[in-house]
Amino acid sequence: MLTSIIFLPSAGAFLLVLAGKNPKICRFIALFIVIMELILALALFVSFDRSATGFSFIERLTWVAPFNIQYLLAVDGLSVSLVLLNAILGVTAVLISWTVAERVREYFILLLLLQTAVMGVFISMDLFLFFVFWELELIPMYFLIARWGSGRKEYSAMKVLLFTLIGSAFMFVSIIALYFSQPVGDRTFDMIALAQSDLGGVVSSAGIISTGFLIAFAVKLPIFPFHTWLPDAHTDAPTAISVMLAGVLLKMGGYGLIRINSGIFPDQLSEFAPFLAIAAVINVIYGAFIVMRQTDIKRLIAYSSVSHMGFVVLGLSSFGGAVTSTAAINGAALQLFSHGIITALLFVCAGLIYERTHTRYIPDMGGLITKMPLIGIPFIIAGLASLGLPSTSGFVAEILIFLGAYGAYPLATAVCAFGVVLAAGYMLWVIQRTLFGPSLERWKDLKDANAPGIWAMVVLLIPILLIGVYPRILLDVFENSILRIAMGLT
């Protein structure tokens, strides 16, 4: 089951290699594969036992025996939700790429490989395997931005690559150091076993080791001041890749923080908690103020990601604070999912608008809603969800984080809550500037969304509203897993 989830997209990529260069056939093969992948992910989501506290669907094979490296796949609720997120965004990414015209086959091959790698990150429970997928994701990413992007695409692609590589270099050292810090004979990369053993208490250098992980994830999430790659990459990437970047690649950082830093090193994470709270405040507030002054619509959405990822950090900072609260971590996990979907929708709308107007410069737009209601309305919904309007998924995630974090860091939480006000400010303002106002003469010939574009938005609108109205559908899945992780704290 899990193996097929990981490797179905790469099988699809292989099929594309054989399929020849006809762009139409390539598009349909890619679409077929990602829909199959979504069905698999939904099957996993439905069949996952919600009462389970541990891992299920375990697949375990020995890979490199002398170092006890295993091919170990397993999911808990946290993984299941992110697998589903990735599968949904995979469909969106293919649909929104329908209009990609050059080297279509190579484009979809890379896109499918990217999906394989990200799936691998969320499902691998062996640190070594996890790291392999973590690095693997970079290569398709690099080429997708550098080849099909716009603006300073090569610069941005190299920037994201180098930032992540340097960040993950520290993780690599930590992984090896963690292995050797265990007693001879019991050494393992098995994340499930590592989480169960009280490692932090035994290993003297656990603080340094966990810092290595923290750096890698902080770059990926990103946490201030490691965020500077993000706006460049998101802005210059093609729409589908902005969707994947904001939607799932950032989530890899959040996932790593929850899975490894709170799962394996709970005590060390709680020592970091005050710094995380400060970082969260900076992310939220600084990010929001930067958003305010953006005039490029994609850059604006990109910086709003920085701001919103601050909430995830805030949720984690409550870990091991005065009052340990699973609500905040549940909120953080939900925020990962919800922000993934919402930002993806924002990027989809921005991409569709750009495709029609050929500008990303906000002051050039205006009154677009009359010409393209089918793009405008989802954009409004996504914007409202992004600012945390009740009945959207964004609201549930943020309220949970604030509820949980208030006990630990009332001041930081209060300041971050102000970030929601700022979000309302910049989101409403951008909607007003782009969609409303007098319709401009130059936009009178614009067409509305095409069919693939509409479907891409529908795929995202469903979960936003569904979770907003009935959050338990997702919370049920990871609640027990989060509880297990939170119980790890001694």
Interacting residue ranges for other proteins, rule: CB under 8 A: 64-67, 128, 131-132, 135-136, 138-139, 142-143, 146-147, 154, 158, 161-162, 165-166, 169-170, 172-173, 176-177, 179-180, 184
Nearer to other proteins, 154 or 364 (CB): 154
C-beta of 208 vs 428, nearer to other proteins: 208
Measured distance CA(96)–CA(183) in Å, rounded: 51
Nearest partner of 171 among 130, 230, 223, judged by Cα: 130
* C-beta of 139 vs 454, nearer to other proteins: 139
The token pair that represents 140 in the structure block: 């398709």
For the CB of residue 436, give the shortest distance to other proteins in the complex, in Å. Answer: 40
Grouping H, G, I as helix, E, B as strand and the rest as coil, residue 441 is helix
Which residue from 381, 346, 84, 87 is spatially nearest to 239, judged by alpha carbons? Answer: 346
Tell me if 426 sits within 8 A of 291, measured CB to CB.
Answer: yes
Q: How far apart are CA 337 and CA 87, in angstroms?
A: 12
Minimum distance, C-beta of residue 448 to other proteins, in the bound complex (Å): 34
What torsion do the CA atoms of 427, 277, 302, 462 make, to the nearest 10 degrees? -60
| Inter-CA distances, 67 with 64, 70, 189, 270, Å | 6, 9, 9, 31
Bridge partners, residue 56, by sequence: 75
**What tokens were used for 297?**
């619509």
Residue placing its CB nearer to other proteins in the complex, 61 or 414: 61
Contact 283, 214 (CB under 8 A): no
In the complex, what is the shortest distance from the CB of residue 87 to other proteins, in angstroms, rounded to a whole number? 23
Return the bridge partners of 126, or none: 190
Which of 136, 415 has the CB closer to other proteins? 136
Please report, for residues 84, 88, 401, 464, 476, the alpha-carbon distance to residue 470 in angstroms, rounded to integers and kept in the order given. 17, 18, 17, 10, 11
Is residue 78 within 8 A of residue 442, CB to CB? The reply is: no
Comparing CB distances to other proteins, the nearer of 57 and 179 is 179
Nearer to other proteins, 103 or 433 (CB): 103
CA–CA distance, 167 with 219 (Å, rounded to integer): 6
**Based on CB atoms, which residue is closest to other proteins, 260 or 312?**
260
Query: Looking at residue 226, what DSSP letter applies?
Result: S
Looking at beta carbons only, is 166 or 411 nearer to other proteins?
166
Cβ count near 119 (within 10 Å): 30
Helix%, strand%, coil% for the chain, nearest 5: 75, 5, 20
Bond prior to 410 in cis (omega within 30° of 0)? no
426/290 Cα distance (integer angstroms): 10
**Among residues 102 and 441, whose Cβ is nearest to other proteins?**
102
What is the C-alpha separation between 271 and 145, in angstroms, rounded?
38
Closer to other proteins by Cβ: residue 25 or 165: 165
Cβ proximity of 95 and 86 under 8 Å? no
Phi, psi angles (nearest 5°) of residue 184: -55, 135
Residue 121 or 277 having the CB closest to other proteins: 121
Nearest-angstrom CA–CA distance, 49 and 58: 13
Provide φ and ψ at 71, rounded to 5°: -95, 90
